[in-house]
Amino acid sequence: MIYLYHKVPEEMQGSILYPLNTLKESLPVVYEQQVSKYVGREQITQQRIPILDCLWNDVLHFSAVNPKEIKQALIEAGRSPDFTMNYYKVNPKLIEPKNAIVYLYAHADNKDKMNEENFAAYNPDEVVKFSSMPRATKDYYKEMIGKGERSLLYHRIPHILYRGTLDITDLPIISV
């Protein structure tokens, strides 16, 4: 079975995953820590997601690519293997299709990122279509690590965007 994965937040509190904008009011300290991921690219937090009609930070972000593949690609690109990442392993059927969409990351540049053509309907039975590590991501890792710069983990990897919250109480955590 193919699963969805969500990185375990470093300062996780409670048993519910919330979208970033929800944390702003309820857990401001956690919000500040999480929003720091967008330093230098704050404009993405204001982009509207078509169909779901909400902002980028109003959704939870999942990947169908196994985190082991992400770590392996980073190591092959030149990153030291002495790091660990923890992920929630999520059954795709826990995500309500009516409140989810797949961001394909199909654009070649930064133009028209939020164009409806860059999205696909979410079907939990078809997540396998988004579970392969893209060659473009591996090339990006190699380029960024070669320059000595920090790479974004999910660059060019399709995102499953979910407008909702998720109870993580019974979800397994994997470490890679």
- Burial of residue 41 (number of CB atoms within 10 Å: 0-12, 13-18, 19+): exposed
The pLDDT of residue 94: 97
Q: Are strands 100-103 and 86-90 parallel, antiparallel or unpaired?
A: unpaired
Q: Do 165 and 62 meet the contact criterion of CB atoms below 8 Å apart?
A: no
What are the boundaries of each domain within the chain? 4-175
CA 105 to chain centroid, in Å, comes to 11
The pLDDT, as a whole number, for residue 109 is 58
- Angle (nearest 5°) at CA 45 between 116 and 79: 95
pLDDT per residue as tens, the chain (176 positions): 899 999 998 878 889 999 999 988 888 888 888 888 888 888 888 889 988 999 999 999 999 999 999 999 999 999 999 999 999 999 999 999 999 999 998 765 556 677 888 899 999 999 999 999 999 999 999 999 999 998 999 999 999 999 999 999 999 999 99
Return the pLDDT at 25.
84
* Predicted pLDDT of residue 81: 94
